[in-house]
Amino acid sequence: MQTLRIERAHETPAHETAWTVAAYETPVSDRMWVLTATSATPAPVLEELLIHLTDGDGWDTPLGAPVDEKMVTAATQPLSDAGWKHTEDGRWIRWTSPDGDAGVQLDAFTTQHPTQNLLSELGKKIAERWLSLLVLPGALFLAVLFAAYEQRHKHSYDLGSIPSRLDQRAEELAASGARVAVFLLLFLLGSDACGLLTQAVGSLLERLWLAADWQGWLFPLRVVAGRWVGSRQARYTQRRDELGRARARAHVSSSAVPGDAVDAAVRRLERIGTESPERPTWMGDRLHAVETRLRRDLGLELAVIWPHLWLDAPDTTRTEITAAREDLTRAAALAGWGFLYFAVGVLWLPGLIIPFVVGTTAWRRGRSAVDAYAMLVEAAARLHASTLARHLRLLQTGPLTRDDGLALTAYLTRGEWPQATPPPPL
């Protein structure tokens, strides 16, 4: 059984979406299909559509089941009643509004072979991701590595000889068809292997960037990280005191210069962190600061409420957060490619600029992605924690207070229902 949700937006302009109908495989999954209608949609069409959706015979078709002609006729009857023109063109069946401003298109082949079409589309998506994430970057790396090997240190700056050397290698390779086939196979496998290696290195670098478990690192790294955390805390305290003194001077002065000094002090402080450092990296502290503020302001433990908040959040919120998290993963993978390109510098000295540029770009993208991800997570928690509390009958009306946040955390952690506060004695 699918879950159907119908949303109605009131007082919308004529050409903007007023009705949204979406079906979900489960109440907490991504939507399977969506249908929208503007406020200018004819009333008979909307009436028949809502009646048909209420019956459940058309939209609640089991996943993977073929759709016959009778079902299509029943589902599109409101369009025919509203005077929409029906045409057929090969595998496509189309309905067009009388004024030609809107239309509906149906793929008849997909309705008869849903599973085959699903597998075909799934295979295309997998192949596209495989090519874009692994093969193409790996092929570029192998090509650069081969060019570096041909140059080596003896011909480091003789770039004009690269085409002739590559042509010579290509002629040697083209002398045998079997050799070409073996080369292409090994090149493809090598590209794939390089892509997998960089993803593994990127995952390790992401853990180092976030440093959520730094206290469990191996002994040498743990000691170095602990000392670095202490150094960052000392610098944070120093710059926080500088900010306090700048604000004090701005409070007693009417000129614009002290205000500029306050802004500069704030920027210097935020280069270390927005809260007192608890991790050895800026990225890790940027995420940890979200937990600190939510705990201090609203009494929320982010690690406890986040799985429940994620399931209760709307699709738009989850889409934005997922996109920001994927940006961080891509930045870490790019840093993995930077490490791999060090092999080019080992063979060809000028090639050392490549890992430097790639690594710097990855680091800047990683900081930007972490900052965006942290802002979205904090915004989602502050916006939707009250909705989650209302769904659990822990909050009736109004914004979420710190006592409400503590009650929500306690309920999700231990299942404790908040006790009513006794009235004060007379």
pLDDT digit string, tens, across residues 224-251: 999 999 999 999 999 999 999 988 888 7
pLDDT higher than 60, residue 308: yes
Between 64 and 292, the higher pLDDT residue:
292
Domain-ending residue, one of 210, 234, 259: 210
- pLDDT of the residue at 57: 54
Count up the domains in the chain and report the number: 2
Instruction: Report the distance separating Cα 245 and Cα 226, nearest Å.
Output: 29
- pLDDT of the residue at 114: 47
The 3-state DSSP class for residue 22 equals strand
- pLDDT of the residue at 214: 93
Q: What is the CA radius of gyration of the chain?
A: 30
Domain-ending residue, one of 241, 263, 280: 280
Max mean pLDDT among 105-114, 151-160, 258-267, 337-346 falls in: 337-346
Instruction: Report the distance separating Cα 282 and Cα 149, nearest Å.
Output: 38
Q: What is the CA angle 417-421-426, rounded to 5?
A: 160
- pLDDT of the residue at 83: 80
Q: Tell whether 125 and 197 lie within a shared domain.
A: yes
Structure tokens of 272?
């270390």
Range 156-161, long-range pairs (CB < 8 A, 24+ positions): 156/348, 156/349, 156/350, 157/350
Looking at the domain assignment, is residue 158 inside a domain?
yes
pLDDT higher than 70, residue 413: yes
Q: Tell whether 193 and 221 lie within a shared domain.
A: no
Looking at the domain assignment, is residue 414 inside a domain?
no
Looking at the domain assignment, is residue 73 inside a domain?
no
**Which stretch of 18-32, 279-293, 388-402 has the lowest confidence by average pLDDT?**
18-32
- Please provide the average confidence, as pLDDT, over all residues in the chain: 81
Q: Tell whether 133 and 163 lie within a shared domain.
A: yes
Between 172 and 306, the higher pLDDT residue:
306
pLDDT higher than 60, residue 420: no
Q: Tell whether 206 and 220 lie within a shared domain.
A: no
Between 209 and 109, the higher pLDDT residue:
209
Looking at the domain assignment, is residue 128 inside a domain?
yes
Between 103 and 122, the higher pLDDT residue:
103
Domain range for 175 is 117-210
Q: Tell whether 265 and 189 lie within a shared domain.
A: no
**Which stretch of 12-16, 158-162, 181-185 has the lowest confidence by average pLDDT?**
158-162
Q: Tell whether 163 and 241 lie within a shared domain.
A: no
Identify each DSSP E strand in 30-99 by its residue range. Answer: 31-38, 85-89, 92-96
> C-alpha distances in angstroms, 424 versus 122, 401, 417, 418, 421?
64, 21, 21, 18, 9
Instruction: Report the distance separating Cα 147 and Cα 124, nearest Å.
Output: 32
Between 67 and 334, the higher pLDDT residue:
334
Q: Tell whether 243 and 261 lie within a shared domain.
A: yes
CA dihedral for 350, 354, 357, 360, sign (positive or negative): negative
Q: Tell whether 154 and 169 lie within a shared domain.
A: yes
The model's pLDDT over 179-221, given as tens digits with 9 standing for 90+, comes to: 778 878 888 888 888 888 999 999 999 999 999 999 999 988 9
Looking at the domain assignment, is residue 378 inside a domain?
no
Q: Tell whether 138 and 196 lie within a shared domain.
A: yes
Report whether 217 contacts 352 (CB < 8 A).
no
Q: Tell whether 227 and 268 lie within a shared domain.
A: yes
Domain-ending residue, one of 210, 236, 265: 210
- pLDDT of the residue at 118: 47
Looking at the domain assignment, is residue 1 inside a domain?
no
Looking at the domain assignment, is residue 241 inside a domain?
yes
The model's pLDDT over 22-43, given as tens digits with 9 standing for 90+, comes to: 777 666 666 677 778 887 788 8
CA dihedral for 63, 69, 70, 71, sign (positive or negative): positive
The 3-state DSSP class for residue 104 equals strand
Buried b (16+ CB within 10 A) or exposed e, 10-19: eeeeeeeebb
DSSP 8-class letter at 17: E
> Which residues lie below 8 Å from residue 395, measured CB to CB, with a gap of 6+?
386, 389, 404, 408
CA dihedral for 26, 29, 35, 37, sign (positive or negative): positive
Percentage of the chain modeled with pLDDT above 90: 38
Report whether 370 contacts 286 (CB < 8 A).
yes
pLDDT higher than 80, residue 103: no
CA dihedral for 221, 223, 227, 230, sign (positive or negative): positive
- Give me the amino acid identity at 348: W
Instruction: Report the distance separating Cα 150 and Cα 140, nearest Å.
Output: 15
Q: Tell whether 121 and 206 lie within a shared domain.
A: yes
Instruction: Report the distance separating Cα 294 and Cα 165, nearest Å.
Output: 61
Looking at the domain assignment, is residue 172 inside a domain?
yes
Q: Tell whether 203 and 260 lie within a shared domain.
A: no
pTM for the structure as a whole: 0.67
- Tokens 């007379």 — which residue? 426
- pLDDT of the residue at 409: 93
- pLDDT of the residue at 342: 92
Structure tokens of 41?
């949609």
The model's pLDDT over 111-155, given as tens digits with 9 standing for 90+, comes to: 555 445 545 555 566 666 666 667 788 888 988 888 888 777 666
